[in-house]
Chains A and B, each alone.
Chain A
Amino acid sequence: MALKVLLVEDDRDLRQTLRDALIVEGYDVVASGSAADAGAVLRHSMGSDNPLDLLVLDLGLPDGDGGDLLRRVRAQYALPILIISARHDDANKVALLDAGADDYLVKPFSISELLARMRVTLRHRGTVVLASQTQYNCGALDVDLAKHTVLKAGEAVHLTPTEFKLLARLVRQAGQVVTHRQLLVDVWGAEHVDQTQYLRLYMGQLRAKLEANPTEPTLLLTEPGVGYRLAE
């Protein structure tokens, strides 16, 4: 059965374009223009036989900033959420990612970017309740969290405990953005939540050990102002 996506976007033309494009890609799309309407759709469909698989949520809806909707969804359902934000919504976007949204896209974006993000988000669907990803392979890098091994081109790489924790946190959500706050809290602890300098330093060390060219990384990608993303 086709994957069911709820698309919440207040601009009618953009909603129509995205809806058509997603239908062409084989998704079952429910489109909605307001937070209230989206809430009704959620209530109705999440209890039915054919629940939603993904929520694509635009910030800056006429009847709310999407934040309330996100928190409601997060409190009730294990539904992955992809945020679409305009450029000026930077702060709001990061707050929603911190609050549990899975990933984001900044307008304007191409349909291929949207599809790629949706694929990653859907692949991680269920990580909230099921075991998250423990193995990662991309390019020359192999990571097995269970066995605690990191191989670069087949050679074992020695990581310090913190470097490993940082890498492991990214591996669990490979392909998705992980915010500075999430990384700092999960790797260093809640009391270090403002100390981004730790992230910069350890990310630099990780890149020096794992990347061919640390200045232009292909695996440990930077999302300026938001966080980091492990490429797939």
Chain B
Amino acid sequence: MSASLRLSSPKFEARWPAVVVWFCAWGLLWGLDGELNLGNLALLLVLASAIAGVWLSALVSVMFSALSVLMFNWFFVEPRYTFNVHLHQDLLLLLTMMGVSTVVSYVMARLRVLAKLESQHAKASEQLRKLSEHLRETPDALAQGRYLQSVLSLDSGCNATMLLLEDDGTSAQWLGKPEESDEQGLWACVKQFCAFGPGTGRHENQPTLFLPLRGRTRALGAVAFHCDITHAMPAYLRDHLQHMCDVFGLALERTQTLRLAQQAKDDAQSQNLRNTLLTSISHDYRTPLANLMSAASVIHDQASRLSTDKITGLAQTVIDEAHHLNRMTTNTLQLARLDAAPLLIKKDWESLQEILGSVLAKARQRHSKRRMVVAVPDGLPLIHCDAILLVQLFDNLIENAIKYSPDDTPIDILVQANSNVLDVRVMDQGAGITDAWKDKVFQAFERVHADAAQADATDPTQLRRGMGVGLAVCKTIAKVHGAQMWVEDRQPHGAVMCLQLPVLQQPDVMVET
């Protein structure tokens, strides 16, 4: 964008039509001399002067008109070839010509200025639009800043350096290397939330122009324009530069607000998680730890007086409770991990049959006397999942089913392939889960008695002890696989844990015949 915008004359290249007009007019004057009377010839001159004014500045127009009047006087006015003027006649002609051509050229100059302003406005809005677009597409504030810096440098013709305020409001990132004096100026500009330097009304006599990156209520940074021509910078350009700075400032403020909101949300979530972990340790870990401690201390203190069978039994308690603690720890940690980074899981093509098979093998080892009836059809589609997570999910479901139903009843595991989904059902014949609890069982540490001390071991609801984190982690695992999980009732009594896994487009396999 050029620097100056006075009522300026057009460029030289644009003046030649005026010269042509004058030549034509004089040609006509010579040709029509004798045909028309002097008054009409003079009108021809006025016409030419008016038309030529379109292409000429006011001054040149007036000069041309004056010259024409003199020549007209010399060549056409009697007595010819003298400057003897009948003042009272020709002076009026001269004044008319000058007046008309001055007005015409002034009006044209105004028009040109307006057109130029118009095009500059259009250019400026286009640039602002591009800037906003770029800010939207580039998420990184530094990259945004660098882009704006290059645009500002280019437009102002100055060396632009930028200060970007960090979230804490006291430290900053620098784009470009500021002069020492500029550094102070930039900080002052940010803190006082206003522009400094030539043309701003503040610190007019210093050479550098400082513009703040304005948000709604405060500056999020500032730009220093360091060069020799800041004093000559026109107001419209300064305004334009400030506009661009403001667009960036608002964008910075918006992202900062979003970031702070997200941070607050994360904080709340991690607070939630911390509470979950604390509840887990305080409620669910104490019982197995107490059992472990008593069994181990009996072995330690009374081994010499105990039978070998008794010691083996106690050792078995230690092993069982250690397994129980291991399971709870794995569940709690998995819950924390999936909560923190649900997208970091490693999925691969897996066979549901294999996964269930390996879970069942372990479950049968642990509960060798329990009956488990399994129905898995052949030729199931592959599922895209993290095998270790699904193992954990099924392991929890089966363990819960075993724990919360009588020992002499079987656990049924049923898999069905339906259109685009695989349905897995783990069914027990226990007390079942009441409607009020069908959703709550999936929330970590929800329990019928919020106060654990209130519930005693004979209360059937207390049987739900420790169920919270197991099912919560199941639900979370289901969620990261895009699967649904819910509870149904079983007739005449019992609970059905339902998992519905999505089946994706199967991968290509070349099968040999």
Residues of B at under 8 Å CB distance from A?
319, 322, 326, 330, 333, 346, 348-351, 353-358, 360-361, 364, 374, 376, 378, 382, 386-388, 390-391, 506-509, 511-512
A198 within 8 A of B: yes
Interface string of A198-227 (1 = CB under 8 A from B): 101101100010000011110001111100
Residues of A at under 8 Å CB distance from B?
87-88, 90-91, 108, 110, 160-162, 195-198, 200-201, 203-204, 208, 214-217, 221-225
* Contact yes or no, A215 B374, CB < 8 A: yes
- Some 23 contacts from A to B, beta carbons below 8 A apart, are A110-B319, A195-B507, A195-B509, A196-B348, A196-B349, A196-B350, A197-B506, A197-B507, A197-B508, A200-B350, A203-B351, A204-B354, A208-B378, A214-B353, A215-B356, A216-B360, A216-B361, A221-B361, A222-B358, A224-B354, A224-B355, A224-B391, A225-B391
Chain B residue at smallest Cβ distance from A163:
B512
Q: How many whole Å from A74's CB to the nearest CB in chain B?
A: 25
Provided the pairs A197-B507, A214-B378 are in contact, do residues A203 and B354 lie with their beta carbons within 8 angstroms?
yes
Chain B residues within an 8 Å CB radius of A221: 358, 361
A to B contact number (C-beta, < 8 Å): 70
Chain A residue at smallest Cβ distance from B510:
A198
Provided the pairs A195-B507, A196-B348, A197-B507 are in contact, do residues A87 and B353 lie with their beta carbons within 8 angstroms?
no
Provided the pairs A197-B507, A200-B351 are in contact, do residues A224 and B382 lie with their beta carbons within 8 angstroms?
no
Instruction: Compute how far the CA of A103 lies from the CA of B291 in the bound complex, rounded to whole angstroms.
Output: 33
* Contact yes or no, B355 A222, CB < 8 A: yes
8 nearest CB pairs, A to B = A224-B387, A197-B349, A225-B388, A222-B354, A197-B507, A222-B358, A215-B376, A200-B351
* Contact yes or no, A222 B507, CB < 8 A: no
Provided the pairs A204-B353, A216-B361, A223-B358 are in contact, do residues A197 and B509 lie with their beta carbons within 8 angstroms?
yes
Provided the pairs A108-B322, A221-B358, A224-B358 are in contact, do residues A200 and B382 lie with their beta carbons within 8 angstroms?
yes
Instruction: Compute how far the CA of A162 lies from the CA of B326 in the bound complex, rounded to whole angstroms.
Output: 40
A217 contact from B319, B357, B511, Cβ within 8 A: B357
Instruction: Compute how far the CA of A203 lies from the CA of B387 in the bound complex, rounded to whole angstroms.
Output: 16
Q: How many whole Å from A50's CB to the nearest CB in chain B?
A: 35
Q: How many whole Å from A17's CB to the nearest CB in chain B?
A: 13
Most chain A CB neighbours (cut-off 10 Å) among B353, B376, B506: B353
Chain B residues within an 8 Å CB radius of A195: 507, 509
Instruction: Compute how far the CA of A197 lies from the CA of B351 in the bound complex, rounded to whole angstroms.
Output: 9
Provided the pairs A195-B507, A224-B387 are in contact, do residues A200 and B349 lie with their beta carbons within 8 angstroms?
yes
Chain A residues within an 8 Å CB radius of B319: 110
- New A-B pairs, 18, CB < 8 Å, besides A215-B356, A217-B357: A108-B326, A195-B509, A197-B382, A200-B382, A203-B351, A204-B351, A208-B378, A214-B353, A214-B378, A215-B353, A215-B357, A216-B360, A216-B364, A224-B354, A224-B358, A224-B387, A224-B388, A224-B390
Instruction: Compute how far the CA of A171 lies from the CA of B361 in the bound complex, rounded to whole angstroms.
Output: 21
Chain B residues within an 8 Å CB radius of A198: 509
Instruction: Compute how far the CA of A196 lies from the CA of B351 in the bound complex, rounded to whole angstroms.
Output: 10
